[in-house]
Copies of this chain bind each other. A is one copy, B any other.
Amino acid sequence: MKTGKLIGIGLGPGASDLITLRALRHLHTLPVLAIPRPNPWTPSLAFRIIKEHLLTDNGQEHLFLEFPMSRDPEILIPAWTKAFAAIRSRLEAGLDVGFVTQGDPFVFSTFIYVYESLKADIPGLDVEMVPGVSSINAVPNVAGRPLVDGQERLAVIPATYGIEDLRSILRSFDSVVLMKVSSIMPQIVQVLEEENLLECSVYVEKATTEDQRIIHDLRSIRNDRCVYFSMVVVTKKHRNGILRGDAPKSEREALHVQ
């Protein structure tokens, strides 16, 4: 029997109408959808996005899989092994399996582990990725902050990576997207304040969902512990234009079309 195909389906940032037509076609036609959730008692964000699009009575299997929010290998490894085995059994039964994932399949997504593990385990496995709208794009859009343009440079970093690194990245890049800011907002606000970048910064949580929250004055939440799906976007917009950063000033000013 021919092994089934593994399809990583990006669902976009949260709003159910920000999925692509290609994702929708897969949701309607695949025999198995693998749906990640942290545990059986927490609603799956991916499922929240897709549920209104699912057809009924088409025999599609909804395979909920647990991916615990933990860094402890003793918790992760058994859960992941179980999840990978469940997908593998469907593939080996000749069924195509769509693994749905919020955002894009290849940006900070559980699908990356599924993909790498199953590709290693099943030689010649047929895979397909359906790119999705990433929160890296959705957040600047909902906040009304153009992200990069012309010769500008963008850095996307998990904020927990290190505060001193953050300072040097803020100085070297035109725009910076800070992911996973939830636990260290006080430090982030302090660095942005010292670098004189608070005016260029915006905080967004749960972008495009009904719980979306946009905070332009980061001082007002400096002591808060924020939710997991939250980001800070810094856009300096110093260069501002299609011309090269090294263009003569007069030429660059000429481009401020009225």
Contact = CB atoms under 8 A, between A and B. Distances in A.
Given A24-B21, A116-B146, A133-B133, A106 B140 contact: yes
B155 A155 contact: yes
A130 B150 CA distance: 21
A21 B151 CA distance: 31
How many copies of the polypeptide does the oligomer hold? 2
Given A20-B17, A84-B257, A141 B155 contact: no
B156 A153 contact: yes
Interface string A1-24: 000000010101101111111101
B133 A73 contact: no
A173 interface: yes
Please report whether the interface of chain A is mostly helix, strand, loop or mixed according to DSSP: mixed
Interface residues of A, number: 76
Contact of A10 (B73, B137, B142, B243): B137
A164 B1 CA distance: 53
A257 B149 contact: no
B151 A158 contact: yes
A248 to B, nearest CB: 11
A17 B120 CA distance: 30
Given A113-B257, A156-B156, A257-B80, A108 B144 contact: no
Interface of A: 8, 10, 12-13, 15-22, 24-25, 71, 73, 76-77, 80-81, 84, 104-109, 112-113, 115-117, 120-121, 127, 129-134, 136-138, 140-142, 144-158, 160-161, 173, 208, 242-245, 247, 251, 254-255, 257-258
